[in-house]
Each structure stands twice: as structure tokens, then as C-alpha cells.
């Protein structure tokens, strides 16, 4: 009876075509782009597709009234299980909220709805000389609301920064159902940085319904270079030398031999199949500066044994180079039935030794690992290839992935560079943070969401919920006294 009443109330807000509850319709919302074998699949009880901020707020208020959990979702391209309804309930899917509400070139910002596809904003503004800089590899499909939730990066974050560097303000629905605005177009705002709190919170403390985003001027000139190297070590050496020379590329990407094999089979992007690794380098800025940096990069790459350095001579060639890089994950289907994508980051100077360790883990576990990543800022994306139906493979993959994370943290890195924590990595946060640290984070979550209804089971480790904060702190004190707590 309660379920039927809830359904009727939701339909009264979003209309009959804005609610899904047939099990077959709900199948597509059981998972996101993370591997189902790792993150699992969970079916929501209801999917609502609102078209306005007010509808989102009203849905949240009704969910609170019926004591039902809420899971926000964009396009579902996330790679950490962050948009999965782990406890059922109501999934709020924002893909019908796609409007560009305002474009202000004088103050260099746009106000957009959360369901707007990332690339669509730049397509709209580029003819007028501006673009939206954050560009995840899934930018043709991912939404800006999802980018805000995960603080997404992308190939160009080396020069331009991740999503948080381009968010000026947000309209947000809180777990109480209140609709608030944080931040704004002013260069600085006083008080607590609530915009910063919301960006990267993965929908656990609020649902973004509008975003004021920074627009960046189109560069005067762009060069894209492709440089094949005999080994991944020589390519890594070139990366370090380019940065050490004071050159800041817009993007500096690396792909290893296994990735090249998959990409060339799928797209014929022009990467030499006999290369041990390829660097894809983009330089942008003033025409004279681009020409000077290009010449210097060519010299550096050749000093590190690059077989050649090709500079794209047309937009079509630039697009083909980038298509190979941005579609590399999908191309892995040419080589394997399944892959587990890790996302971790290390200091740039630790890249060579980290890649060596990844290779050792590959051999230790007898698993092929392809590497395609943002080399310029040390953000690694090892893809562990496996067959989920082969006995023992999944266990090996999880153990191999955990070893990688431990190593990266040990050399000064972090367990995620841009894909978020979600459901997949929440219990790995203990590698980086103390119990007191995690209790403080749980306290922040509690201050916004005391009922723990927003995107439950995400980000914070199991056992760090609001009811266990005092216990966690007590355990930390015991550990400091030498008393081991099991």
C-alpha cells in the first residue's frame, strides 16, 4: 500500500512518462559504467526523470516523508559504482534537464542544467571563442552534473585543472528538500566554501540542479604531436624532461603497447604497432609560443629515443589521434571479455618505478594489464584484463588492484585521481586516512544528511556512518594506547 501511495505521489510530480517502475525498464539503471562483477548490480524501486529543480526538490521531500533513500544519477558513465541504487529506493535521473540557461561572455560563465552533455557546452560556445575546459574521455556522453559530483578530470586537466577549477556556483537540493544556491559569479565569496564541499561529494550531500561554470577562451593555435617510443621507460623519461624544461602542455597522455594494439585494431588511429609506448602531446596558446614549444618537445622526445615525432597537419588528423586515446577503454573489447579499470595517481617523478611495479603485479598474478593514462599529472589508469567466468580470475583481479593502490599510496599518491570513490573504493580510504579523519568526513555527511538517505553506501568506508562516529574515535584512541581492536 505504501509503495502504491509513493508511486502515485511521484507521478503527481513528474507525470506518468517521468516515472519508471517496470522491472524491465529498470534493468538499465541497475549498474553504471564500472564493471558489474566488481560493483555489482542493484535495481532501484523507482526511477524518476524530473525536468525542473522544483520537481527534484519535491521528489526529495516525498522520499523523506516515506523514509526512502535517494540515489542521484546522470548519464551513468561513472566508473566507481557511484550511481548505483545499492539500497533500492528512488533514483533521480537528471538526463532530461539539459538546458543552457545563460551564457555570459563578458564575465566568462554559463549557467547550465545538470543533464547537459559535457561536450555540448563547448559546441555551443566555441563559435564565439570559448570552451568548457574539463574534458573527461567520456565527454561525448557524460553530463556536467556527473562531472561535478565526481570532480572529473580528463586529458586537459594538466594545464586547465579538474572540474572544481571551473565551477563558480551551484544550485543544490539538500536532503531536507531545501533548494539553495552556493557560490556565484563574484571572484571571491565570504564564509565557508560550500561550492567546494559539493564538488566531488558524489551526490551524498546534495543533488546539483544548476551549475554556473567558468568559460575559457579558445587558444589562438593548437598542435597535437604523436611520439612513439621503444619502451614505456623511455616515454616516461620524456614526460619528466618536458615538464622539467618548463613546458606546460595542454595534455600529455601515454599508451602502452597493449593499448596500442587494441586501439589500432579498432580505429586505425595511426599509432605504430611496434612501439613500446606512445605519447600524445597537445600544445596550445599563442601561435609563436606553440611553435617554439613544439620544436623543443620534438628535440626532447628524440633525446629519449622516440622513433619519430609526428605533428598533426589537419583537424582531421588531430581528431583521429584523440579518438584513439579517448576511445581506448572501449577498444579493449578487442582483446578481452572483461577489464577492471583502476584509477590512481602518483607524483610524476614516481611514474617509471610505479609502471615497473604494475608490470611486476601483472606477472605475479598472470594477468595482462594495459596502461593508458594522463602521464603529465601522474594519473594512472591500469586496465586489468580478465574473464569474469574463469574460476579464480575475479579474486586475482581484486587482489592485484589492491596491491597497486597500496603501492601508489606508499610512494605519495592517492587511491583515485578522477573517477571518485563510489561503492567500489570506499573501504580503501583507510589506506590514506586515519579513523579520526574518516570520522570527521562522516560528521560532515551527517550535518547535511542526518538520516543517511542520500546515495547511501558511497564514499565513506563501511563502519563510518553517523551512528558509529564516536565508536570509531574510541577505537582510534585504543590503537594509540597499543590496544589492537578487531
Q: pLDDT digit of tens for each residue in the chain (486 aa)?
A: 479 999 999 999 999 999 999 999 999 999 898 877 777 789 999 999 999 999 999 999 999 999 999 999 999 999 999 999 999 999 999 999 999 999 999 999 999 999 999 999 999 999 999 999 999 989 999 999 999 999 999 999 999 999 999 999 999 999 999 999 999 988 778 899 999 999 999 999 999 999 999 999 999 999 999 999 999 999 999 999 999 999 999 999 999 999 999 999 999 999 999 999 999 999 999 999 999 999 999 999 999 999 999 999 999 999 999 999 999 999 999 999 999 999 999 998 899 999 999 999 999 999 999 999 999 989 999 999 999 999 999 999 999 999 999 999 999 999 998 999 999 999 999 999 999 999 999 999 999 999 999 999 999 997 655 444 444 444 444 344 343 433
Where residue 88 falls (left for φ over 0; alpha for ψ -120 to 50; beta otherwise) is left
Residue 354, Cβ density class (10 Å: 0-12 exposed, 13-18 middle, ≥19 buried): buried
Torsion of CA 250, 256, 262, 263, to 10 degrees: 20
* Cβ–Cβ < 8 Å for 190, 235: no
Nearest residue to 331 via CA among 255, 252, 253: 255
Determine the pLDDT at residue 476.
Answer: 46
Domains and CATH numbers, the chain: 2-93 (3.30.43.10), 100-217 (3.30.465.10), 221-330 (3.30.70.2190), 336-410 (3.30.70.2740), 433-480 (no CATH)
Determine the pLDDT at residue 39.
Answer: 76
**CB-based contacts of 463, cutoff 8 Å, min separation 6:** 472
What is the SS3 string spanning 193-238? CHHHHHCCCCCCCCEEEEEEEECEECCCEEEEEEEEECCHHHHHHH
**Rounded Cα distance, 289 and 294, in Å:** 8
Torsion of CA 345, 386, 33, 460, to 10 degrees: -50
Nearest residue to 253 via CA among 224, 274, 275: 224
Determine the pLDDT at residue 166.
Answer: 97
Which residues in 206-222 are b (16+ Cβ under 10 Å) and which e?
A: bbbbbbbbbbbeebeeb
For 438-482, give the DSSP string: HHHHHHHHHHH-TT--BSTTSSSPTT-SGGGHHHHHHHHHHHHTT
Determine how β-strand 221-229 pairs with β-strand 310-311: antiparallel
Where residue 228 falls (left for φ over 0; alpha for ψ -120 to 50; beta otherwise) is beta
Q: Looking at the whole model, is its pTM more than 0.75?
A: yes
For the chain, the residue count is 486
Determine the pLDDT at residue 34.
Answer: 84
**Rounded Cα distance, 204 and 178, in Å:** 15
The C-alpha angle 282, 285, 287, rounded to 5 degrees, equals: 105
Q: Which three three-digit cell numbers place residue 445? A: 555527511
Query: What Rg do the C-alpha atoms of the chain give, in angstroms?
Result: 23
Determine the pLDDT at residue 481.
Answer: 38
**Residue whose C-alpha cell reads 583515485 in the numeric block:** 416
Amino acid at each position: 500500500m505504501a509503495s502504491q501511495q509513493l508511486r502515485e505521489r511521484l507521478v503527481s510530480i513528474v507525470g506518468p512518462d517521468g516515472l519508471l517502475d517496470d522491472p524491465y525498464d529498470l534493468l538499465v539503471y541497475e549498474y553504471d559504467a564500472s564493471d558489474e562483477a566488481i560493483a555489482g548490480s542493484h535495481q532501484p524501486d523507482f526511477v524518476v526523470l524530473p525536468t525542473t529543480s522544483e520537481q527534484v526538490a519535491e521528489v526529495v521531500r516525498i522520499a523523506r516523508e516515506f523514509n526512502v533513500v535517494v540515489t542521484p544519477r546522470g548519464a551513468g558513465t561513472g566508473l566507481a559504482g557511484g550511481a548505483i541504487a545499492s539500497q533500492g529506493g528512488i533514483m533521480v535521473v537528471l538526463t532530461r534537464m539539459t538546458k543552457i540557461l545563460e551564457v555570459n561572455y563578458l564575465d566568462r560563465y554559463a549557467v547550465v542544467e545538470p543533464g547537459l552533455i559535457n561536450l555540448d557546452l563547448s559546441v555551443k560556445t566555441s563559435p564565439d571563442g570559448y570552451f568548457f575546459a574539463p574534458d573527461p574521455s567520456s565527454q561525448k556522453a557524460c553530463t556536467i552534473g556527473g562531472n561535478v559530483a565526481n570532480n572529473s578530470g580528463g586529458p586537459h586537466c594538466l594545464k586547465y585543472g579538474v572540474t572544481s577549477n571551473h565551477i563558480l556556483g551551484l544550485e543544490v537540493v539538500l536532503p531536507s528538500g531545501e533548494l539553495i544556491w552556493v557560490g556565484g559569479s563574484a571572484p571571491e565569496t565570504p564564509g565557508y566554501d560550500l561550492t567546494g564541499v559539493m564538488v566531488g561529494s558524489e551526490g551524498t550531500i546534495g543533488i546539483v540542479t544548476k551549475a554556473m561554470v567558468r568559460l575559457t577562451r579558445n587558444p589562438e593555435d593548437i598542435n597535437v604531436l604523436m611520439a612513439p617510443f621503444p619502451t614505456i621507460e623511455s616515454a616516461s623519461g620524456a614526460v619528466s624532461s618536458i615538464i622539467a624544461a618548463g613546458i606546460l602542455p595542454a595534455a600529455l597522455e601515454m599508451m602502452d603497447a597493449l593499448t596500442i594494439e587494441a586501439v589500432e585494431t579498432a580505429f586505425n588511429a595511426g599509432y605504430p604497432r611496434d612501439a613500446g609506448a606512445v605519447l600524445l602531446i597537445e600544445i596550445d596558446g599563442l601561435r609563436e609560443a606553440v611553435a617554439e614549444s613544439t620544436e623543443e618537445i620534438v628535440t626532447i622526445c628524440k633525446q629519449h629515443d622516440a622513433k619519430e615525432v609526428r605533428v598533426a597537419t589537419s583537424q582531421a588528423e588531430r581528431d583521429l589521434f584523440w579518438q584513439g586515446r579517448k576511445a581506448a577503454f572501449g577498444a579493449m573489447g578487442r582483446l578481452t571479455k572483461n577489464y577492471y579499470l583502476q584509477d590512481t595517481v602518483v607524483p610524476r617523478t614516481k611514474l617509471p618505478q610505479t609502471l615497473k611495479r604494475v608490470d611486476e603485479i601483472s606477472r605475479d598474478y598472470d594477468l595482462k594489464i594495459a596502461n593508458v593514462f594522463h602521464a603529465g599529472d601522474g594519473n594512472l589508469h591500469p586496465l586489468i584484463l580478465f574473464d569474469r567466468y574463469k574460476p579464480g580470475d575475479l579474486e586475482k583481479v581484486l587482489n592485484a588492484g589492491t596491491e597497486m593502490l597500496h603501492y601508489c599510496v606508499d610512494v605519495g599518491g592517492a587511491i583515485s585521481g578522477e573517477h571518485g570513490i563510489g561503492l567500489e573504493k570506499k573501504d580503501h580510504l583507510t589506506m590514506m586516512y586515519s579513523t579520526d579523519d574518516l570520522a570527521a568526513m562522516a560528521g560532515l555527511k551527517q550535518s547535511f544528511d542526518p538520516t543517511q538517505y542520500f546515495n547511501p553506501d558511497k564514499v565513506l568506508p563501511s563502519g563510518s556512518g553517523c551512528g558509529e562516529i564516536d565508536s570509531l574515535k574510541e577505537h582510534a584512541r585504543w590503537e594509540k594506547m597499543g590496544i589492537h581492536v578487531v
